[in-house]
Homo-oligomer: A and B are copies of this chain.
Amino acid sequence: MSTDEPLISNAKLLAFGETILGKLDVSQEHAALTSRILLDADLRGVASHGMAHLVDFYVRRLQMGKINPRPELKLDSDQPSAATLDAGNGLGFVAGQHAMELAIEKAQTTGIGWVSVGNSTHYGAGGYYAMMALEHDMIGFSMTTGGRLVAPPGGLGRAIGLNVLSVAAPTSRDFPYVLDMATSVVAAGKLEIARRRGESIPEGWAQTASGEPLTDPAKLHPDSTMLPLGGTPVLGAFKGFGLTIMVDILTGALSGFGTSAEIDAGLTAAHCFGAMRIEAFQPLADYKERMERMIVAVKETPRRAGVDEIMIPGEPEHALAEQRRAHRRVPVHATVLAGFKEAAAELDVTWDLEDAQ
């Protein structure tokens, strides 16, 4: 256990999130939902999208009036397999849960459901929503616009967002396939972590305003830029750029709300959610048989020295979550806890996160 990252009780984190969001007029149901989705990211080791943002991203913005605690969710369009939801500038978690449930409902009937969402805000880790499809034997999708920090290939300015693509699918094993990726080389959270630790970052993640490699993460702001997946044109940056735009089209353009090129203010966001019912295509057993053969082939691949096992996307996160659920605790960075404590004092929330459990 790192002294910088004490282990905190999952139950207490959930209760703290619920209580502090409730103080800002978020309903009990929505506060509980938000806390659960944030904790889920911590359980899976996605600390950059978990409880660490509870105060900075959500509590502070609710206080500033930039997020509506009591949003009206409104369907702008509702077709048998497609819908568009206006999230009423509420918490992205609330819109995400609602829209993914709607996509799943449509997929039950027609085979596929797809819901675009505009007028929303930061929804945490996209993998959570995609994974909602799993218990229905469906493949799940979730995408979102992200902060405008990325330069297109050949560009030196912040034109497009740190957009995210998440896909989840059942497998033949106990872990699901989960892809949860920013369409940039790395998510901004990786720079945040390196900066906190005083470490440099590899060449290829970001560039200075003049296009030189940026290796000091503290220098990202104000005018450096992050790079699309691939990094340089010769190594595939046009692909990362193309994927970024794909996410923008399916979220910001399809919802009519605006792409990452125009909406990056106060964590405003557009999303989309999709579900495909496997048995609308193929008996589940046949699907799983093909998945098993693929997993075996990948795991039997000859490996580099030092690589014990090749993991399927989602497999390591699943193992970590099992472990953290069993231990009933997740690590939370000391600076994050300090922020919680400050907000708790301000908002008159009982402070018991650091007590022995």
Residues of A at the B interface (CB closer than 8 Å) are 76-77, 79-84, 109-114, 116, 139, 151-160, 167, 169, 177, 179, 181, 185-186, 202, 204-205, 211, 229-231, 234-236, 238-243, 245-246, 248-250, 252-259, 261-262, 276-278, 280-283, 286-287, 290-291, 293-294, 297-298, 300-304, 307, 310, 312-313
- Of the candidates B160, B253, B282, the one whose C-beta lies within 8 Å of that of A291 is B253
The smallest C-beta distance from A269 to any residue of chain B, in angstroms, reads 14
Report whether A298 and B261 are in contact in the complex, using a CB–CB cutoff of 8 Å.
Answer: yes
* Complex Cα gap A53–B169 (Å): 34
The smallest C-beta distance from A261 to any residue of chain B, in angstroms, reads 4
Of the candidates A79, A153, A156, A278, the one having the most CB atoms from chain B within 10 angstroms of its own CB is: A79
The smallest C-beta distance from A208 to any residue of chain B, in angstroms, reads 12
Report whether B230 and A82 are in contact in the complex, using a CB–CB cutoff of 8 Å.
Answer: no
Report whether B154 and A304 are in contact in the complex, using a CB–CB cutoff of 8 Å.
Answer: yes
Report whether B258 and A82 are in contact in the complex, using a CB–CB cutoff of 8 Å.
Answer: no
18 sample A-B contacts, Cβ–Cβ < 8 Å, listed by A number: A81-B111, A82-B276, A82-B281, A153-B310, A154-B304, A177-B245, A181-B239, A185-B236, A229-B230, A229-B239, A235-B235, A241-B313, A249-B291, A254-B281, A256-B281, A256-B286, A262-B290, A262-B293
Report whether A297 and B114 are in contact in the complex, using a CB–CB cutoff of 8 Å.
Answer: no
* Complex Cα gap A253–B169 (Å): 10
Report whether B111 and A312 are in contact in the complex, using a CB–CB cutoff of 8 Å.
Answer: no
* Complex Cα gap A68–B286 (Å): 24
Report whether A156 and B304 are in contact in the complex, using a CB–CB cutoff of 8 Å.
Answer: yes
Give the number of times this chain occurs in the complex, counting copies: 2
Report whether B294 and A253 are in contact in the complex, using a CB–CB cutoff of 8 Å.
Answer: yes
Which B residues touch A114, using CB under 8 A?
A: 111-112, 276
* Complex Cα gap A282–B257 (Å): 10
* Complex Cα gap A167–B294 (Å): 25
Closest to A115 in B: B281
* Complex Cα gap A294–B250 (Å): 13
Report whether B79 and A280 are in contact in the complex, using a CB–CB cutoff of 8 Å.
Answer: yes
* Complex Cα gap A190–B241 (Å): 19
Given contacts A245-B312, A281-B254, A307-B154, contact A261 B81 (CB under 8 A): no
Which B residues touch A241, using CB under 8 A?
A: 313
Which B residues touch A250, using CB under 8 A?
A: 139
Which B residues touch A158, using CB under 8 A?
A: 301
Closest to A167 in B: B246
* Complex Cα gap A109–B307 (Å): 50
Report whether B290 and A179 are in contact in the complex, using a CB–CB cutoff of 8 Å.
Answer: no
Closest to A289 in B: B256
Closest to A296 in B: B261
Which B residues touch A313, using CB under 8 A?
A: 238, 241-242, 245
Which B residues touch A304, using CB under 8 A?
A: 154-156, 211
- Of the candidates B79, B110, B242, B287, the one whose C-beta lies within 8 Å of that of A82 is B110
Which B residues touch A204, using CB under 8 A?
A: 234-235
Given contacts A181-B242, A250-B139, contact A256 B290 (CB under 8 A): yes
* Complex Cα gap A205–B181 (Å): 21
Closest to A306 in B: B154
* Complex Cα gap A262–B76 (Å): 44
- Of the candidates B259, B281, B301, the one whose C-beta lies within 8 Å of that of A152 is B301
* Complex Cα gap A355–B246 (Å): 43
Which B residues touch A82, using CB under 8 A?
A: 110-112, 276-277, 280-281
